[in-house]
Structure formats: C-alpha cells, structure tokens
Amino acid sequence: MKYSIFSVCDHHLDVPRSIGQLYSQVLSEMEWAEELGYWAYYIAEHHFHEYGVVPAPPAFLGAASQRTSRLGLGVAVSVLPFHNPLLVAEEYAVVDHLSGGRLRLGVGSGYLQHEFQGFGISPDERRQRFEEALEVIVRAWRGERFSYNGVYHQVKDVRIAVTPYQKPHPPLWIAILRADRAYHVGRMGYNIMMVPYATVETIDQLGEIIAAYKKGYAEGGGRGEPDVAVALHTYISDSKEAARRESEAALHRYVVTRLYARRRTFEELDRGEVILFGDPDLVAARIRKLAALGVTHVMALMNFGALEPERVRRSMTLFAREVMPRAAATVSRP
C-alpha cells in the first residue's frame, strides 16, 4: 500500500485565511509529508470558484519542487478538456525536471458545470476532448515530430523541446466519478484514481468497480500491477469521538460547499466507511479492508474545510507513525 496526502485546496470566505496563507500552509505540509515518509502530495485543479483555488498546478508544483527533495508531487487532476494538450505536455515536463523525476500526474475529463461554462465548452464534448488530449500528450512526450488530426485537436509536424525526466513518461492516473468508466480506463492501460465519497454509497461497492477495472486492464494487455488509488477524508485522533469532535465542523464546511454533490452527514459517511476518521486502530482496520478490496494507494485528504493547521499536521503525524504500521501488521487470529 502506498500512502499520499491530497488537498483540494478549498478556500472559504467565512474563514480569516487568505489564499496566500493557504498556499503557504500546503507547501509547509508538503515539507512535513516528506519528513514523515509519505509517497506523494497531490493537489487539485479547479477554476472559477473557491471550492479549489489552484487553477495552475504546474506553477504550484514547481514551487514545491524547490522545497522538497524526495516527495512525489502530484495533481489530482489536470482537467484536460480545458487545456491545449501540447502546453500540458510541456508544463508538466518542466515540473518533472525541476523535481528530478517526482511528478505524479492524474488526469481527468472534468465534471463541474460552471467550469465548462466558464471555458465555453460543452460538457457533452468532455470525453472525446479528454481522450484526444491524452493521446496528444503521450505522443508529444516521445520527443519526436508528429502530427495529429482529431475532432478538437490538430497538430502539424510538431516536436516539443522539453520532454519528461522520467522515461518514457511520468506515472499516469485517470480519475473516474462514475463506476461504469472503470472498465474503459482499465482497457486504456493506465492507473485509476477515485474519490469513494463521490462514487459509492458504501466502501464495499468499490470491490465490483475495481474488479471491472482490472478486467479491462487485463483484456487491454496491461502489464504489471496497476495502481488503484482512492482519496478519502482522513482525520486521526485519540478516539473516534475525539476525531469527530475536533474535525466535524471542518468536514461539514467542506461538504456543504461541495458543488453538485449530494450532501451526507458524518453518520452517513462513517456508516458507509467512505471516510477515515478515528483512532489509529480503527483507521488501520479500514485500510486493511480497502486493501482486501483491491486498493493499492490511499490518498489521505487531511487539509479540508479550513481545518486548523496544527490539527492537520497532528493528523498527518499520527497517520504516518501510528496508522501505517498497524495497517501493515498481520492481524492476529484466535
């Protein structure tokens, strides 16, 4: 199991914290995540709303690359329909060089209606725009001249000068929100990324989705074991009651400002096991369950809803020092 941190970088106007202060907090958390031994720290790309205030992840990750030396630097996700794919290929290649090969790139087709409206793109086009853009990016990363004639993207005899540090290219994840996309992503041969909170009612439903993904991966000729990453809101404390008491207000703030998603209470989320809130033993048990379902990568979403920075760092620390060892330990049986 790999363990990473993920932040949507949500900003809340009712909290006395500037965007610059949020950026500083996240960069500081990246440094601390590296010290604690996390595999990567992912940030989200969003536009036109305080739901997420990092519209340009390559710039942010470029800054992070100079403050860390081992931590993977990820985006979850680059929304490909909103960008010229040649620019995406170049900008993330720069990040990969600045970081010495630590880029972890999640890509997706987007889902927020106001973002498509803002860019003047029909949501009905997103799947084809995404698949064309991804093909252009991967071909551009080969460093050879090529042409491409798609419905939305045309390339004529172009070679990009900066290709990724990692060869043939950085690891790629495709994000899905709908369960029926899992098989298709598997057929494409890429890693997969999900947010169970937005996709399933209960964590048990992940099993069928992962099975469909792996079936597609095998049928598409995928090699090796793919990475199955899930992002879950996470908060570790001395007890489940303490975890709820210390973080429920932030979770509520996040949930009620989440756009276009059904709002669920703490009890509903906890009952469905789509959050990791509790003491180290409880959270480790839930991670072992995730592993049994086929999850190979947990992205702990710890900085959410303007949760106090000291509580975020304490939760990160407890997760690394108390939860990870417990999750890896063999459960004793009578």
Q: Taking the domains of the chain in order of start, what are their residue ranges?
A: 2-328
Confidence (pLDDT) at 333: 38
Confidence (pLDDT) at 221: 95
Integer angstrom CA distances of residue 108 from 36, 172, 181, 253: 29, 11, 12, 25
What does pLDDT average to over the chain? 95
CA 61 to chain centre: 14
Rounded Cα–Cα distance for residues 106 and 43 (Å): 10
pLDDT in tens, 125-152: 999 999 999 999 999 999 999 999 999 9
Residue 9 is which amino acid? C
Confidence (pLDDT) at 329: 82
pLDDT band with cut points at 50, 70 and 90 for residue 179:
confident
Residue 182 is which amino acid? A
* pLDDT of 260 strictly over 70: no
Lowest mean pLDDT among 140-149, 226-235, 249-258: 249-258
pLDDT band with cut points at 50, 70 and 90 for residue 261:
low
Q: What is the mean pLDDT of residues 159-171?
A: 97
Confidence (pLDDT) at 172: 98
Confidence (pLDDT) at 178: 86
Q: What is the mean pLDDT of residues 257-283?
A: 90
Superfamily of domain 2-328: Luciferase-like domain (3.20.20.30)
* pLDDT of 334 strictly over 60: no
Residue 11 in contact with residue 26, Cβ under 8 Å? no
Confidence (pLDDT) at 113: 94
28: left (phi over 0), alpha (psi -120 to 50) or beta: alpha
Confidence (pLDDT) at 33: 98
Residue 92 in contact with residue 162, Cβ under 8 Å? no
* pLDDT of 52 strictly over 60: yes
Q: Supply the pTM of this predicted model.
A: 0.96
